Amino acid sequence: MVFIVSDSVGETAEAVVKAVASQFEGRTVEIRKFPYIEDEETIKDVVLAAKESRAIIALTLVVPKLRDFLYKLAKERGVTVIDIMSPMIAAMEQLVGKRSLNQPGLVRQLDEEYFKKVEAIEFAVKYDDGRDPRGLLRADVVLVGVSRTSKTPLSMYLANRRYKVANVPLVPEVDPPEELYQIPKKKVIGLTISPDQLNMIRRERLKALGLTSQANYASLERIMQELEFAEKVMKKVGCPTINVTNKAVEEIASLILDLTGGKEQTEAQ
């Protein structure tokens, strides 16, 4: 029997024990987990139970005080202890020249941050370009603006920082979804741009698609019509606006977070 003792979930030790047990064909190893160990009294109980069950202890305690206490007690009781993480931690400290945080549960925190990012990215893809107005009610940020004002790149950039972003294109021929007027104003950001730069961007876009740059999509007349319509919608919503002319995505994203009251969520180190 193997007792797994951890100040977190114990998944690391369990994976190692199962991998080792698989090397002994025809033998099964019973595993008992003791997660979230935070005090010496619990350690006393575990060590006593291990002695009575003739079990070995596989531990992933990163708090030195608890780890040392368990070692001392196990030695006194004649219980075998296998420390799974400490040798690697010591080697890593020498490699990076920095002390370990000795803080339990960090792997799980990283996992949670990763899944939040994935969820935000999936959200941005699902509710890109006004595909489903229902997403506006669930979004942290809603971006509105005419075509080619960086709505999609901004949605993905903010999603990588775990913000759920939806965006809505503003086109004179299509009424904005009613949901746009139902969400708090501070969640909505209007994106504006100079007509000349939008004209240049759209002409380049048409070239990339193999189409003539003289199409109505890139004409200044059409652009002015769209920008005037977008301005009216933004005023009706009552949302703040950002002029994205000659601005990088990173700069615009920072302004968006300032206006919505969000905070930059940097990657876990």
Residues comprising the binding site for ADP?
A: 145-152
Going by the DSSP 8-state scheme, the letter that residue 60 receives in this structure is: E
User: How many residues are present in the chain?
Assistant: 269
For residue 55, give the nearest of 83, 32, 21 by alpha carbon: 32
Residue numbers belonging to the annotated binding site = 145-152
The terminus-to-terminus CA distance of the chain in angstroms comes to: 37
The phi, psi pair for 165, rounded to 5°, reads -120, 130
Contact 112, 144 (CB under 8 A): no
**What is the residue whose two structure tokens read 């920008």?**
227
265 burial class (0-12, 13-18, 19+ CB within 10 angstroms)? middle
Contact 57, 50 (CB under 8 A): yes
Question: Rounded to an integer, what distance in angstroms lies between the CA atom of residue 87 and that of residue 92?
Answer: 9
Question: Rounded to an integer, what distance in angstroms lies between the CA atom of residue 47 and that of residue 43?
Answer: 6
Strand ranges (E), 61-114:
81-83
